[in-house]
Amino acid sequence: MSAALAEQLENTSISGQDGDWKANLKAPAKDLRPQTEDVTATKGLEFEDLYIKRELLMGIFEAGFDKPSPIQEETIPVALTGRDILARAKNGTGKTAAFVIPALERVNPKSTKTQALILVPTRELALQTSQVCKTLGKHLGINVMVTTGGTGLKDDIIRLNDAVHILVGTPGRILDLAGKGVADFSECPIFIMDEADKLLSPEFTPIIEQLLAYFPVDRQTMLFSATFPLVVKSFMDKHLRQPYEINLMDELTLRGVTQYYAFVEEKQKVHCLNTLFSKLQINQSIIFCNSTNRVELLAKKITELGYSCFYSHAKMLQNHRNRVFHDFRNGVCRNLVCSDLLTRGIDIQAVNVVINFDFPKNAETYLHRIGRSGRFGHLGLAINLINWEDRFNLYKIEQELGTEIQPIPPTIDKKLYVYDSPETIPKPPPPTTAEKKEAEQRQQSRPSNTSNSHHNTPQRQQNYNSSTGSYQFPRQPQNSQQKPRPGLGPSSQAQGVPPPTQQVPPQGHYPNPNSAAQNHQNRRPPRYNNQSQQGRPNGFNAHEGGPSVRAM
Partner 1 sequence: MSEFIGSRISLISRSDIRYVGILHEINSENSTVALEQVVSFGTEGRRGDPAKEITATDNIYEYIVFRGSDVKDLRIEEPAKMPQQKPPQVPDDPAILQSTARPPNYPPQGLPPQYPAPTMHPYYQQNPAARYGYPQNPYGYPGYPSVGPPGVGQFPPQVSQQASQQPQQQQQPQPQPTGVYPRQGPPPQTPIGPAVSRPQQGQAQPPQQAIGPRGAPQQASQPQAEQQPKPTTPTTPAPQTQPAPSVAIANPPVSVAVQDGVKTAAPQLVPALQEQAAKPANTVTAAAKGRTGIVPALPLASAPRQGVPTLTSASVVPITATNAAAAAPAPKSAAEINDTTAAVQDLAHKVSQLKTSFSNGEATALAATDGSHRPARQPTNRVRGGFRAGFQQSRKVEIPAGDFDFESANAKFNKQDLIKEVIASEDVPALTPMKVSTTNGATTGVGEEADGHGNATLQPDGFYSKKKSFFDNISCENKERAEAKEGDRPRGGAQWRGEETKKNIETFGQGSVDGGNRYQGRGGWRGRGRGFRGGYRGRAVMRGNAF
Told to check if 199 binds partner 1 by CB under 8 A, we report no
Quick one: 49 exposed, middle or buried, by C-beta within 10 A (0-12, 13-18, 19+)?
middle
Q: How many residues bind partner 1 (CB under 8 A)?
A: 122
For residues 304-323, which are near partner 1 according to CB under 8 A? 304-307, 313-318
For residues 270-299, which are near partner 1 according to CB under 8 A? 270-272, 274-276, 278-279, 291-294, 296-298
Q: Measured from the CB of residue 137, what is the shortest distance to partner 1 in angstroms?
A: 27
Q: What is the maximum alpha-carbon separation in the chain?
A: 84
Told to check if 230 binds partner 1 by CB under 8 A, we report yes
Told to check if 237 binds partner 1 by CB under 8 A, we report no
Binding mask 455-494 for partner 1 (x = CB under 8 A): ---x-xx-xx------------------------------
Q: How far apart are the first and last CA of the chain?
A: 38
CA distance 453 to 473: 9
Helix (H) or strand (E) holding 336: strand 335-338
Q: CB neighbours of 526 closer than 8 A, spacing ≥ 6?
A: 478, 479, 481, 482, 514, 516, 518, 519, 520
Told to check if 200 binds partner 1 by CB under 8 A, we report yes
Q: Measured from the CB of residue 270, what is the shortest distance to partner 1 in angstroms?
A: 5
Helix (H) or strand (E) holding 329: helix 318-329
Q: Measured from the CB of residue 544, what is the shortest distance to partner 1 in angstroms?
A: 24
- Identify which of residues 144 and 367 has a Cβ nearer to partner 1 in the complex: 367
Helix (H, G, I), strand (E, B) or coil at 281: coil
- Sequence letter at residue 131: Q
Q: Measured from the CB of residue 227, what is the shortest distance to partner 1 in angstroms?
A: 6
Told to check if 399 binds partner 1 by CB under 8 A, we report yes
For residues 328-347, which are near partner 1 according to CB under 8 A? 339-341, 343
CA distance 89 to 354: 20
Binding mask 347-386 for partner 1 (x = CB under 8 A): --------------xxxxx-x-----------x------x
- Identify which of residues 131 and 278 has a Cβ nearer to partner 1 in the complex: 278
Among 153, 212, 497, 552, binds partner 1 (CB under 8 A): 153
3-state DSSP of 1-69 = CHHHHHHHHHHHHHHHCCCHHHHCCCCCCCCCCCCCHHHHCCCCCCHHHHCCCHHHHHHHHHCCCCCCC
Q: CB neighbours of 202 closer than 8 A, spacing ≥ 6?
A: none
3-state DSSP of 523-545 = CCCCCCCHHHCCCCCCCCCCCCC
Binding mask 504-533 for partner 1 (x = CB under 8 A): -----------------x-xx---------
For residues 74-93, which are near partner 1 according to CB under 8 A? 86, 88
Cα–Cα distance list, 151 to 107, 123, 134, 321, 445 (Å): 27, 10, 20, 12, 13
CA distance 403 to 259: 9
Q: Measured from the CB of residue 494, what is the shortest distance to partner 1 in angstroms?
A: 33
Q: Taking a C-beta distance cutoff of 8 angstroms, is the pair 24, 417 a contact? A: no
Residue range at the interface with partner 1 (CB under 8 A); choices 16-24, 97-105, 168-176, 490-498: 168-176
Q: Measured from the CB of residue 229, what is the shortest distance to partner 1 in angstroms?
A: 5
Told to check if 257 binds partner 1 by CB under 8 A, we report yes
For residues 433-462, which are near partner 1 according to CB under 8 A? 458, 460-461
For residues 99-118, which are near partner 1 according to CB under 8 A? none
